[in-house]
A and B are shown apart, each in its own frame.
Chain A
Amino acid sequence: MRYDETELRVRFNEVDSWGMVWHGHYISWFEVGRMALLGKFHLLPQDFTQMGYIAPVVDLKCVFKEPARLDEEMLVRTTVLKPTKAALTFRFEVLRKSDRKLMAAGEETQVLLTLDGRMLYIIPQDLRQRLQPLFDYLEEPDSSA
């Protein structure tokens, strides 16, 4: 499974009074990774809305391995599991760029709703077709691992 990678640098406002990144910010970093990956395939939130869907997060997990610190460069690695039900599950890794040490890892699951609030139990064909290039890309071997 391939992970897409994007970079960021720890900002002053992300560090707590103990000198380490506050745990909630890793979730924002997951979002950076998600947007970078989905943007490549025109699957950003506005693209979903244009198709008539929204995809709220219903489950979120995160484990924290090492504390990231101010001004460190991070790699946010993102992938999406091929769906076995009408939900999209993203997996994330945050690595310190200098030594590729795993700092945090997580997973988020999104379900699909129509704009009028119906939850979809089957991924519609139009969305399947839009998602396929993303899954084709992620099936390629991960050369950055």
Chain B
Amino acid sequence: MPDDLVLELKKLIIATLKLEEVTPEDIADDGQLFGTGLGLDSIDALELVVALEKTYGVAIPDSEVGERVFRSVNTLAQFVKEQRTKSN
């Protein structure tokens, strides 16, 4: 998986959710995004879904898909990559 996509996604998360004290280096590639780990909540998920749709054209319809996709930045990057491959 390209490192630049993982880094790009970390920057997107930080910018979208205005995580002022967080740098990309603070977010582990395999670390939990929700609950423990980065500590994001369901409202953060809604903001991220909009940003991901605008930036990558990917749709995450509900929490059932979100649970899998948002497990970590790696799983998110994998999802974006899969969706890009489908649309190509």
Residues of A at under 8 Å CB distance from B?
58-59, 84-87, 109, 111, 114, 118-122
Contacts and interface: CB of A to CB of B under 8 A. Distances in A.
B62 A85 contact: no
Interface secondary structure of B, over-half rule: helix
Contacts of B61: 120-122
Given A119-B63, A122-B61, A84 B43 contact: no
Interface residues of B, number: 15
Contacts of B65: 121
B43 A121 contact: no
Given A114-B62, A121-B61, A86 B43 contact: no
Interface secondary structure of A, over-half rule: strand
Contacts of B60: 121-122
9 contacts: A58-B42, A86-B46, A111-B42, A119-B42, A119-B45, A120-B61, A121-B45, A121-B63, A122-B61
Contacts of B43: 58-59, 87, 109, 111
Interface in B21-75: 42-43, 45-47, 49-50, 59-66
